[in-house]
Amino acid sequence: MTAAAAPGPGKGELVYQQLRADIEAGTLPPGAPLGELALVARTGASRTPVREALRRLAADGLVELAPRQGARVSRVSLRSVRDLYDLRALLEPEAMRQAARAPGSPLHAQLPRVRAELVRLQRRSPSAARSAAFYALADRFDQAVADACPNAHLQRVLADLRPHSARLRNLSHLDPARIETSLVEHLRMVDALAAGDAEEAAAACAAHLAQGLATIVATLRQDTGGVLDDLDLPLGAR
Amino acid sequence: MTAAAAPGPGKGELVYQQLRADIEAGTLPPGAPLGELALVARTGASRTPVREALRRLAADGLVELAPRQGARVSRVSLRSVRDLYDLRALLEPEAMRQAARAPGSPLHAQLPRVRAELVRLQRRSPSAARSAAFYALADRFDQAVADACPNAHLQRVLADLRPHSARLRNLSHLDPARIETSLVEHLRMVDALAAGDAEEAAAACAAHLAQGLATIVATLRQDTGGVLDDLDLPLGAR
DNA sequence: GTGTGCAAAGATGTATACAGGATGCACCGC
DNA sequence: GCGGTGCATCCTGTATACATCTTTGCACAC
């Protein structure tokens, strides 16, 4: 069973996940108004679960909530992108270290399969399907690394940051060539984790983040014609 | 007017702040059940704002929300204490660095007053009032440092962590002698910030956190008779 | 023609009513 | 005496109705 209609998760949870997915995917672009009435019509739920979902998303920083004025998808600026990557550069290498030192975790059991899948993707020719498969794999990997952290607070913060990163990736249509380098970077991380080399894993993660930031900034600059410098960008063009 | 009864902040906001303050202060100890009905009676608001407040607190990690089973104040374990301080040790020194490099911020304008107040407190004889005054000052200082960070994501995470730290302090009745050392550590941080020495400020912050963790762990060990090792402690005694 | 003021409409904030599920206890059977 | 089942009660999850505020559009005065 994938997910039953009503009995399993509550309706508020469903609305939350749907809205979050739409925001991450860019279907709901930054700045998009989120009227409760409109969301009731969109999701079929009542105002109560809709409100609950909006509050949770606001706590995640994915929507901005103006009192008596409604909700909007939170806007993105070049500065916020840099801020996000600065913070990830602080946290994720540390998460890698901790994960590398937790050999009994489910992460380590998955590593051989992840590695095999990465190699398989390396041999495929570039295509949208390959990109999608890689990103799905990378997301699962990041999640597994975070879950392997014994530090629950760190896990919570990383989980908070993940949707922001996902949104950035989907807002800016990245250069397909980026996949190649990112594959290599992930292989380096996987191998370091498998070897239990915490510092190498952390270094690989830091390098991966630096590359990712450079790519996204370049892409955003190109998409917006270099107009932005600290401006809010209305949406990922397309 | 300071703050009108109803018109200014919404009722949900009021309930949230009240509950959060009670959790931080320890009035609502870890594990305490938070029935919506009981909170309605306690706060005078209706169930809708109460629910909103509970969701926000759950997002902060201050309450645990079991579906169809109600909310409880989140429990605290020795491990969670270590986790929290590990994370703070990662984030707050970096925040200090960034704050030290933002000379135009309101923080720097406040530094002379904060320093004078610290010196004044140093000369007072130990008392509960002095402790309370110091903690209030330290909280304002931490807040000002976080606000001086240009990184909005970092600000958000630091704000999320603050109530957890405050709760720990109030759960464990700290040794009054700790105030003395903490005063000195704060003076070191303030002076480093005033001098614009980012690395010295970060080092001072790290030292302060290490001392704080050691003190709290020792206090908790003593309070619980050393029974806990990874156990949940029911409450900060008293 | 411009600016101000008012009024109507739409939205959010709040309160309450209804439905489904979990927990605890009492009763029955063994 | 002990274990299991069934029911009663309370709770949360959801839906809807009401009150209040913000906003927008228009009319009028300057």
**Residue A172 and residue A119 in one domain:** yes
What confidence score (pLDDT) does residue B103 get? 85
Which nucleotide's C1' atom has the smallest distance to the CA of A67? C12
Q: Which of A10, A67, A157 sits opposite B157 (nearest CB)?
A: A157
Give the torsion through C-alpha atoms of A195, A199, A204, A210, to 10 deg. 170
Contact of A52 with chain B, judged by CB distance below 8 Å, is answered with yes
pLDDT at B4: 37
| Domain end position, chosen among A32, A58, A74 | A74
Strand C protein footprint, C-beta under 7 A: A 7, 34-38, 47-48, 51, 65, 67-71; B 10-12, 45-49, 52, 68-69
The CATH number given to whatever domain includes residue B190 is 1.20.120.530
Report how many domains make up chain B. Answer: 2
- Whether B187 is covered by a domain: the verdict is yes
Query: Are residue A118 and residue A38 in the same domain, yes or no?
Result: no
Q: Which of A83, A94, A156 sits opposite B90 (nearest CB)?
A: A94
B67: in domain: yes
Q: Considering A74, A106, A127, which residue would you say is the last residue of a domain? A: A74
Radius of gyration of chain B (CA): 19
Question: Do B193 and B160 have their domain in common?
Answer: yes
In this structure, is residue B219 part of a structural domain? yes
From A74, A93, A109, the end of a domain falls on A74
**Pairing between strand A33-34 and B70-73?**
unpaired
CA distance A175 to A178: 5
Residues in chain B with CB shorter than 8 Å from the CB of A153 are 61, 80, 83-84, 86-87, 161, 164
| pLDDT the model gives residue B221 | 83
> Which residues have C-beta within 8 Å of that of residue A171, sequence separation ≥ 6?
A26, A29, A30, A76, A235, A236
Structural domain contains residue A32: yes
Whether A161 and B151 lie within 8 Å, measured CB to CB: no
Task: Judge if A139 and A212 occupy the same domain.
Answer: yes
Nearest residue in chain B measured CA to CA from A85: B153
Provide the shortest C-alpha distance from residue B152 to chain A (in Å).
7
Decide: A167 and A220 in contact? Cβ < 8 Å.
no
What pLDDT is attached to residue B15? 96
Domain of residue B27, CATH code: 1.10.10.10
Kindly give the confidence (pLDDT) of every residue in chain B, 238 residues in length, as a single tens digit, with 9 standing for 90 and above: 333 333 567 899 999 999 999 999 999 999 999 999 999 999 999 999 999 999 999 999 999 999 999 999 999 989 999 999 999 999 999 999 999 999 889 999 999 999 999 999 999 999 989 999 999 999 999 999 999 999 999 999 999 999 999 999 988 877 888 999 999 999 999 999 999 999 999 999 999 999 999 999 988 888 776 665 555 555 543 3
Q: Is the domain of A81 the same as that of A70?
A: no
Neighbours of A221 (CB within 10 A): 15
Q: Say if residues B148 and B99 touch (Cβ distance below 8 Å).
A: yes
Q: Specify the DSSP element, H or E, that contains A77.
A: strand A76-77
Q: Is A163 found in the same domain as A112?
A: yes
Output the pLDDT for position A230.
54
B63-66 and B70-73 beta bridge pairing = antiparallel
Are A44 and A136 within one domain?
no
Residue B51 lies in a domain: yes
pLDDT of residue A33: 96
Tens of pLDDT, residues B16-66: 999 999 999 999 999 999 999 999 999 999 999 999 999 999 999 999 999
Residues of chain A with pLDDT under 50: 1-6, 236-238
Residues 6+ away with beta carbon under 8 Å from B151: A83, A86, A87, B98
Does B86 share its domain with B193?
yes
Whether A38 and A153 map to the same domain: the answer is no
Q: Does B152 touch chain A (CB under 8 A)?
A: yes
Supply the pLDDT for residue A220.
85
Strand D lies under 7 A from the Cβ of residue A68: yes
Instruction: For residues B69 and B83, state if they share a domain.
Output: no
Helix (H, G, I), strand (E, B) or coil at A175: coil
Residues A111 and A198 placed together within one structural domain of the fold: yes
Same domain, A223 and A121: yes
| Residue A133, in any domain of the structure | yes
Please indicate, yes or no, if residue A238 is contained in any of the structural domains: no
Q: Which residues of B touch A152 (CB under 8 A)?
A: 79-80, 83
As a whole number of angstroms, the longest Cα–Cα distance in chain B is 54
User: Residue B83 and residue A52: Cβ atoms within 8 Å?
Assistant: no
Range of the domain at A220: 77-233
Interface of A with B in 106-135 (CB under 8 A): none
Instruction: Confirm or reject contact between B56 and chain A (CB < 8 A).
Output: yes
- Taking the C-alpha atoms of residue B163 and residue B236, their distance in angstroms, rounded to an integer, is 16
pLDDT value of position B1: 37
Q: Has residue A30 been placed in a domain? A: yes
DSSP-derived secondary structure letter, A172: S
